[in-house]
Amino acid sequence: NLHTAGQTYRQRGLDFWPGPIDSINGSIGSVTCKTWDRFFSVKRESVLSAKYGFGADSNVLNWPKIAPFVDANGNGMYDPSTGDYPIFDPMVQANVPSEMVWWVMNDVGNAHTAYVGGLPMGVEIQATAFAYSTVLSEAINNSTMYRYRIINKSSTPLYDVTVGQFMDANIGGADDDIS
């Protein structure tokens, strides 16, 4: 059975929607999709302030409980009042990007209209975009990096999976490219 989900520009249709998939029944409702239709952003200064006990701003306080965080008291639940704070990689707590943006999406929030015919995979994708600012490298200052955590939340095992990222980068406007 072929399971697919893809996205390029939205004029062709949609195969992905915002929000986490329910772990119990492998589905998500439209209300949950609307609730999660946003990006969560935090800057290095906010993370370090929370890490060293100088207070947590609204971005730290509103960081999603399913996004990566340092679990200061080891209870497995995100709670900034107990010293928890957002982090790119909990295994490498010294790695604090200048800015992180986190979001979650799924391929079961509605009917597939971009690539009709394939069955939804039942995957949840937790994405983190991050960037650094440094005096050491102009290339790093002009780069963004991405980490995707893809979780199969369906009851069907997936085999021979291929993942790719569509990108159409432009310098300036897309309508003035020179061939």
Tens digit of pLDDT at every position of the chain (179 positions): 778 888 877 777 889 999 999 988 889 999 999 999 999 999 999 999 999 999 999 999 999 999 999 999 999 999 999 999 999 888 888 889 999 999 999 999 998 888 877 788 999 999 999 999 988 899 999 899 999 999 999 988 988 888 888 887 777 777 776 65
Helix, strand or coil for residue 127? Answer: strand
SS3 content of the chain, % helix, strand, coil (to 5): 15, 20, 60
The SS3 of residue 59 is helix
Distance CA(28)–CA(80), nearest Å, equals 27
d(CA 78, CA 57): 15
Contacts of 61 (CB under 8 A, 6+ apart): 80
Both tokens assigned to 131: 């960037």
